[in-house]
Amino acid sequence: MAKSEKGFWNKEYASGGHLALSTEPSGELVIFEKFFEREYGEGIFGYTNAVDIGCGNGRNLIHLAKTYGTKGVGFDSSDEGVRQAKKAGRELKDISFVVHDIREPLPFPDATFDLALDLMVSHHLTKEEHRHYMQEVLRVLKPDGWLLWKTFLLDDDIHSRKLIADSHKKGEVGKDDAHGYIHPNFGHYEYVWSEMELREYVDEHFQVRALRRSHGHKGDSGEERKRRYMVAYLERKN
């Protein structure tokens, strides 16, 4: 990760400028918990070893540890985010937080985790970077492990299509990068998936147990814009 990008996220976690710095768990995680308990009984959370990818201030892993006794590790490229996570989770002995960039190999042994959380994190990777990243996620997940993945959805998202078109017009991304763009306000790369593309991408290694669509409003430079998201509940194939 470039120093400028890391500095951006450190500043965001320190000031809360662009991020919604809640200490409550992600609503998508709570919905996933209810889904899992409904479909599979008590679920895996009580004996789960989880990895929280791009953990930020640690809210999701801390929630799982307090609610279910989940063990695990959270990591983020932001020193400030990890500092906040360590402070918030200092009394929980079975979870830890480290600074790490998802573009680098994950610092965990094979088949370590039952659950991986990627909630609006890996969309900052190019498609090629994402392939390497996904191989690492597969490596550290146990057979039948789960990946909860939330990302931007291209389908019916006018704002995403405009960002992509404008970035291509400026020559900021390659012609073969059909769904990527450089965000005009933050200067960072983002990739937007279509549902069909995502399903094809994960099909070899995961069963798609559910896929939810949602939308929200993100304020860019004071202007509210509707963005679409999808959340995939992915169970690793043996």
Beta-bridge partners for 117: 52, 148
pLDDT digits (tens, 9 = 90+) for 126-174: 999 999 999 999 999 999 999 999 999 999 999 999 999 999 999 999 9
pLDDT for position 26 = 94
The pLDDT tens digits for 31-45 are: 999 999 888 876 667
pLDDT tens figures, 74-84: 999 999 999 99
Domains detected in the chain: 3-153+193-236 (3.40.50.150)
Output phi, psi for 125, to 5 deg: -95, 145
58-75 tens-digit pLDDT = 999 999 999 999 999 999
pLDDT-derived band at 19, boundaries 50, 70, 90: low
**If you compute the radius of gyration of the chain from its CA atoms, what whole number of angstroms results?**
17
Long-range contacts of 131-135 (CB under 8 A, 24+ apart): 132/103, 133/102, 133/103, 134/201, 134/205
Asked whether the predicted pLDDT for residue 9 surpasses 80, the reply is no
Local confidence band at 23 (pLDDT 50, 70, 90 cut-offs): confident
